[in-house]
A = this chain, B = another copy of it.
Amino acid sequence: MILTLSCPDRHGIVAAVSGFLMQRDANISDAQQFGDAVSGTFFMRVVFEPADGDAIEAVRQAFAPLAERFEMDWTLRGPEPRRVMILTSKFDHCLADLLYRWRIDELPMTVTAIVSNHPRDLIGHVDLGDLPFHHLPLRDSGDAAAKAAQEAELLRLIEATGTELVVLARYMQVLSDDLAGRLAGRCINIHHSFLPGFKGARPYHQAHARGVKVIGATAHYVTADLDEGPIIEQDVERISHRDTPQDLIRRGRDIERRVLARAVRRHLEDRVLLHGAKTVVFED
């Protein structure tokens, strides 16, 4: 089981949590913690093996009073994989990468559906196997009614499939504020620039025009404020004056897919805790 928590920092949190687990005869296999001095907030992630026969609901109930005492935001999860929906476009390199990692058991998840606003035959380079595919077309993203209808369908699908995490794997559509709000903390986007540089459209063309010497990609939780969500992971690569915008797009694919995969993996392992507009990421 994995326990994550954040709360106002004060004496005795670690003693209380570790004492609780010890009394329950649980075996802690990993624990990480962080106290943010500026905000006075404490964060903790504990992986433990419960005593034989100790059910997750029983642990939850027993922990609740302690959590209340320390005013904790907390989650406790068992080993079952999370249910994940992947949204994509014809740029399918992140999708291909996530599916390959899932197939070799690198990502502990159940894929509930692949969704695209393009028809299936435009996902040309990826073997979807038996995964459910849904085509939710959106011809004119400026047509508010059409967009609302498409998002309603998307939300229905998220709920019907019991999806816990939505991954925007180069989905190329901006979610409405309303949908972004409903998916707060459980929708990860990959932006193809090193934020906060080059927000918005065609970041590689922006980077080429500015003449930067390094490009990057950023995985973040989606919020109503475009490209301003809490950052989970970033990475970069060195480029040169020889690189055209097309070269940047090619090089960028490698950065995007590894940054997104790391962010998804860390989310799936409950390593990412929200801290206002930022994140605490307990490294693996």
Contacts and interface: CB of A to CB of B under 8 A. Distances in A.
Interface of A: 11-12, 14-15, 18-19, 21-22, 25, 27-38, 93, 96, 100, 103-104, 106, 124-127, 194-198, 210-214, 216, 230-236, 238, 240-242, 244, 247, 250, 254, 258, 275, 277-281, 283-284
Question: Which 9 pairs of residues, A with B, have the shortest CB-CB distance?
Answer: A211-B278, A127-B127, A15-B18, A197-B197, A103-B125, A14-B18, A15-B22, A213-B234, A241-B280
Contacts of A29: 35, 37
A197 to B, nearest CB: 4
A34 B31 CA distance: 8
Contacts of A35: 28-30
Given A104-B125, A124-B103, A279 B211 contact: yes
A224 to B, nearest CB: 17
Nearest to A228: B210
A194 B214 contact: yes
A212 B234 CA distance: 8
A15 B28 CA distance: 11
A36 B180 CA distance: 40
A22 B27 contact: no
A235 B277 CA distance: 25
Nearest to A97: B100
